[in-house]
Chain A
């Protein structure tokens, strides 16, 4: 018993160890990469950020600026700032926004739930709709019907979110008056932004999911089952669904990255507070601390999801691990392109 336990622990460690290392590395590298990009900027981040608060009275006098630079701690060497900020971030302190004077951690904590609601709702809508369409295609007896159904989701990738958002808000908010157009005060307000984001997200999920399902449909065991008189719906829910879901889960992390980016456009169109608009505003204001904070938080969320997906995948079905991993990689690459 004992040696067996021991080797299992070792095996588990060998499985988890590299993944934990990668988890830490991704976050560190995201920090470093963003820090470098932000500090290579030619513009003066101080003036840009001050002008958010200053309007047409923004200071431009060199002496005043020198004084302010010292006040915001922007006068140390790059290396000093890198180390100081990095250590502070480890303690959970993301610094202070130059533009707004607010704590970056607070700003992100405030915006995150707004974005999370929209993102999760979009994920649920997108995944559900693409599963329903795939199911219809699976049970469709006529190939032309199946093929037409399969043509629908790629539309979702081709329609820019800013465009579909504008159309949706015109029709459902202004035209029919069914849903609130903007802001986050109304409990129904996440619906339109979520539907807008669900289109591309659903389409990406669809590519992986439908490929797996249709592959199964063409396989011999489905063929045999049909010959034996098993109905297609039963087959779908009993066997195909579970097998097709496994590779699909792995692109979850990727979809979350996509959602974090997609919200930048959607939150602008719908005038909502959230991570995306926070980022756009921060980039406009060259508010480095905020951009840095957002990238770190997104990297952490992405890494956590990927770590969980990786671990759960190994746990759910250890038998298909090697084959599964290959399929996962392929699905991953396909989805990367689509996103």
Chain B
């Protein structure tokens, strides 16, 4: 059913096109997991697979971590209350067979399915879920992703062993989608009460198809299939135990080591194939799995309070017009990926292309700058009243993307300096407000990512802008249960952000993993993270 190239195309198809997305498909029926395996062979020729990961997971507790690498592994160990269809965005049952939300989005009723046990033998009950959410909310910012999904959490009311209600003090638009992620995956009571540090190093006990076998920091993680697993969501291809016995995740930090190891057969699957190497693995003995990241694409995020140059709307408009997103994509992006064209990526729910407003027009950029008084200086850099048209971009990855933008902007007399720092320097700059532009992407499944980046009330404090109209739109969309009305506001927000030059999109990034052609059943979830339950090797 899935030859590699077909899979690539399918994964890249924008899923944001799904207009009538029912984020809250109320009262889904609890039909059991179905399989559409058809004629496929649902056995693996090998018991052990080697999956080279690009960085140390640091903390292997899926509830606490924010690293994609660690979330990918944690996904295999914990199940969630609900699952989300990666292509349609539809929420479907998983550990919860039924779920409803009230109109204010402040209270969510769940009914658990029967017969679920954790790998330590304990049973899944409403009390376990309550213990999970209580403990997770108490962790606060130590579990920063979870604290965003659980914003405003007050308590969980247990009705009986299988019925409970999760209550919030304010509307929470992201909770149900969050409940489908591994971040709100459910762990056994013993893990819920363990210390956060212990859970990071020894892992958690989940109800998922795999269990943690070992974690040697900086070296490897090993997970093993659990016997007697029987509650995958309907989105999976088979039921019963996972198809391979063991998956080893060696930490291989060098890109070249991973691609070389895949070619020489040391590794079966590798995380993050460099885009430039994609062509090597597109055919023959190899295949690529790719899925566009959701959320805010990589781009320049301004701080109007730090630099009078950046505060000039004409400058920001000129930067938008002078950057060529097609060229950036061709030079630094994944093959076949979309050029960035809005404040959301094309694969995010609610995405509306602003390509017309963003079309590259070097002449218009130059004219706009002239009109605003920025005249070309003798060194090719524009200036106004003795001030150079120069600013610094602070980033901690995607240096090549910025270098291309730097070359493009130089042609219209804009001097863009690049400050590549480490993650610490980046977040330190945000904390102290000491930056002209940030360059980064924010990967989130929900369009509420816009609020995280652009709202002045958000705790993250990334963009420092002055745009009251946008602010009220961002706040309002986060309180609406009516999906259609909410998406209209999300569209409005994207339009405002681009119009006012609050963001300069540069590149849509893509999760690009490589594998030998023998690997089957590799699936992405809605947040571009990985499901390995169906993964297997053909002989």
Contact = CB atoms under 8 A, between A and B. Distances in A.
Contacts of A92: none
B428 A44 contact: yes
B440 interface: yes
Given A59-B141, A100-B59, A268 B253 contact: yes
B217 A65 contact: no
A107 B217 contact: yes
Contacts of A174: 260, 263-264
Contact of B58 (A44, A53, A58, A60): A53
A52 B65 CA distance: 10
B427 A47 contact: yes
Given A48-B423, A101-B196, A270-B254, A56 B217 contact: no
B67 A55 contact: yes
Contacts of B65: 53
A273 B216 contact: yes
Contacts of B258: 182
Chain A, interface SS category: helix
Contacts of A273: 216-219, 251
Contacts of B266: 180-182, 186
A51 B67 CA distance: 10
Contacts of A107: 217
A285 interface: yes
Contacts of B443: 56
B422 A284 contact: yes
B279 to A, nearest CB: 17
B423 A183 contact: no
Interface string A145-177: 000000000000000000000100110011001
Most A C-beta atoms less than 10 A away, residue of B141, B248, B424, B440: B424
A332 interface: no
Given A55-B66, A102-B201, A268 B424 contact: no
Contacts of A96: 197
A284 B425 CA distance: 9
B162 interface: no
Interface string A262-291: 000000111101000110010011100000
Contact of B257 (A43, A49, A114, A182): A182
Interface string B236-253: 000000000000101111
Interface in A44-83: 44-45, 47-62, 64-65, 68
Interface string B43-64: 0000000001000101100001
A228 interface: no
A169 B427 contact: no
Contact of A60 (B140, B216, B257, B461): B461
Contact of B427 (A54, A180, A184, A268): A54
Nearest to A44: B428
B263 A62 contact: no
Interface string A105-128: 001001100100000000000000
A285 B68 CA distance: 18
B254 A269 contact: yes
A255 interface: no
B428 A177 contact: no
A53 B422 contact: no
Given A56-B66, A56-B442, A56-B443, A51 B424 contact: yes
A268 B256 CA distance: 11
Contacts of A68: 141
A185 interface: yes
A115 to B, nearest CB: 11
Interface in B145-165: 145, 148
A55 B144 CA distance: 9
B260 A54 contact: no
Contacts of A268: 253-254
A45 B424 CA distance: 8
Contact of B145 (A51, A57, A270): A57
A181 B145 contact: no
B286 to A, nearest CB: 14
B52 to A, nearest CB: 8
A212 interface: no
Contacts of A101: 59, 196-197, 200-201
A43 B264 contact: no
B230 interface: no
A107 B200 CA distance: 14
B308 interface: no
Contacts of B253: 268, 271, 277
B212 interface: no
A58 B252 contact: no
Q: Which of A47, A52, A271 has the most CB of B within 10 A?
A: A271
Given A61-B459, A65-B431, A48 B254 contact: no
Nearest to B195: A101
A169 B260 CA distance: 9
Q: Which of B66, B257, B430 has the most CB of A within 10 A?
A: B257
Contacts of B428: 43-44, 47-48
B144 A58 contact: yes
A102 B425 contact: no
A108 to B, nearest CB: 11
Contacts of A198: none
B63 to A, nearest CB: 12
B58 A99 contact: yes
B479 interface: no
Contact of B66 (A53, A64, A166, A286): A53
Residue among A56, A273, A284, A286 facing the most chain B CB atoms (10 A cut-off): A56
A270 B218 CA distance: 13
Most interface-central of B52, B58, B200 (chain A CB within 10 A): B58
Interface in B183-220: 196-197, 200-201, 216-220
Contact of A278 (B67, B145, B218, B461): B218
A56 B440 contact: yes
Contacts of A60: 427, 430-431, 459-461
Interface of B: 52, 56, 58-59, 64-68, 140-141, 144-145, 148, 196-197, 200-201, 216-220, 248, 250-254, 256-258, 260-261, 263-266, 422-428, 430-431, 440-443, 459-461
19 contacts: A48-B422, A48-B423, A51-B426, A52-B58, A53-B64, A55-B67, A55-B68, A55-B423, A64-B140, A99-B58, A100-B59, A101-B197, A102-B217, A110-B219, A173-B260, A185-B220, A268-B254, A277-B253, A285-B422
Q: Which 9 A-B pairs give the minimum distances between C-beta atoms?
A: A48-B424, A182-B257, A51-B423, A273-B218, A57-B144, A55-B66, A60-B431, A58-B427, A273-B219
Given A57-B66, A101-B196, 12 more contacts: A51-B423, A57-B148, A59-B459, A60-B430, A61-B459, A64-B141, A170-B260, A182-B257, A183-B220, A270-B257, A271-B252, A281-B56
